[in-house]
Structure 1
Amino acid sequence: MSKILFVMTGADHWTLADGTRHPTGFWAEEAAAPYEAFRAAGHDVVVATPGGVEPTMDQGSLAPELNGGQEGSDRVARTVASMSELKHPVKLSDVDLDDYAAVFYPGGHGPMEDLSVDTESGGLLTAALDSGKPLGVVCHGPAALLAATRD
């Protein structure tokens, strides 16, 4: 079995242009659906965040109207609740890319708060691109690419 690295936001808010803090985190379905697919294919998933903090789910991402109704919302919520990897993330600074077959960045507004400026994440992205390993970034996850610079 190969391991897939999920790099997730550690932010629980997004600072808006006027300085106010909007509650956020990762988008539930953008983590749950790939998680289910990777696990069904026999892969292990490891979650990493800046500082190894437990990622916060954006509660708005469970709105029934965003998940095809209450049944869809409940299914996504069950999947997220089953993701034990969320409870014990590793620190981005402790990640060794050689341990993983692929890297995946779920979205949500949280990555715009922390991953967009996180040098550990930026270095990991650059290394993943250089390695040729599969790299997936979803929805607002590409905000993390802002930190992927070369000196």
Structure 2
Amino acid sequence: MKYILFIVTSTDKTGTGKHPAGYEFSEIADPYFEFIHKGYTVDFASMLGGKPPYVGYNPSNETSKKFKEGRGFKRLNFSHKLEHINMSAYDAIFFPGGLGLMTDMVDNPLVKEIIKNVYETGKIIGAVCHGPAALLNVMLFDGSYLLEGKKINAFTRQEEEKDNHLLGDVIPFMLDEALVKQGAIFSHTEPFKPFVVNDKNLVTGQNPASAPGVALKMIDLLEKEEDS
């Protein structure tokens, strides 16, 4: 049995315009079912605990609707407070996207410490869309940035512009540029097309359409670990 921890934003407003924020609904729903179908256990932690805010729920999306009506969503709404989590219980962590994460995880010392320790112990880290913002400002034990020299992707400037995410008003910074500034080797595909990159024990996806692929690649890595 494998145990996956989803680490979720608790921020419900973004930018100077105070636009609605939170986690992107499908970026939890889609990976959740990939892990569950494999027989893995998924737990949820958020920055503040309790019921995290969300955006982007589409009732015509069958997977999202199934998640919202199921026990996974109920458990998510009683999420553990991140500071109370024993990380040694988990085989992998996953950061779903959503603009809220760009506010409450970029500089949070606990998030940085968790990512550093998970990475340094060789466990799997997944992130999708704006989720890779959590990987910013993580310093490894040797004093280097986690992102330095790593193949990474995330939501792109082109996608921000197509979504009318104005710098300042909606988003605090351009994520792709911030990742590159810390040494990431950034690649991408066309806006809103699925795209997943794997570099050792890091798995990142470009946008909501990439969320299932991130989960599947994480599963592939976890299964290889088990076989080795």
TM-score by length of 1: 0.83
Identify which of 137, 140, 144 aligns with 2:127.
Answer: 137
Whichever residue aligns with residue 71 of structure 1, its letter is S
Deviation string for 1:69-99 (max 9, x for gaps)?
A: x632x53133134222212111111122210
Unaligned runs of 5+ in 1: 64-69
Identity of aligned residues (%): 31
In the alignment, residue 113 of structure 1 is paired with which amino acid?
A: T
Q: Distance in 1 between matches of 2:83 and 2:24?
A: 23
The offset of 1:128, in angstroms, is 1.0
Equivalents in 2 of 1:91, 1:71: separation in Å? 31
CA deviation after TM superposition for structure 1 residue 55, in Å? 1.1
- Counterpart for residue 7 of structure 1: 7
Higher radius of gyration, 1 or 2: 2
Distance in 2 (CA, whole Å) between partners of 1:80 and 1:136 is: 22
1:25 partnered with 2:7: no
Q: 1:94 corresponds to which letter in structure 2?
A: H
Aligned pair count reads 139
What does the per-residue CA deviation read over 1:96-142, in whole Å, with 9 as the maximum and x for residues that have no partner? Answer: 22100111110011110111122111111111111111110111001
Q: In the alignment, what sits opposite 1:80?
A: 68
- Write the deviation string for residues 6-46 of structure 1: whole angstroms up to 9, x where unpaired: 000011111x2xx2211011011111111001111111111
In 1, Cα distance between equivalents of 2:128 and 2:78: 22
Amino acid at match of 1:139: C
Equivalent position amino acid for 1:135 in 2: I
CA contact under 8 A between 2:6 and 2:42: conserved in structure 1? yes
Equivalence map 1:119-130=2 (5 Å): 119-130=109-120
Q: Residue in 2 aligned with 1:48?
A: 45
Is residue 62 of structure 2 the alignment partner of residue 62 of structure 1? no
Q: Determine helix, strand or coil for the equivalent of 1:32.
A: helix
- Asked if residue 103 in structure 1 is aligned to residue 93 in structure 2, the reply is yes
Please, which of 56, 68, 71 is the counterpart of residue 60 of structure 2? 71
Preserved contact between residue 6 and residue 43 of structure 2 (Cα < 8 Å): yes
Cα separation, 1, equivalents of 2:44 and 2:9: 10
Correspondence for 2:166: none
Contact 2:30 / 2:63 at 8 angstroms: preserved in 1?
Answer: no
- Distance (whole Å) between structure 2 residues aligned to residue 12 and residue 90 of structure 1: 17
Letter in 2 for 1:76: S
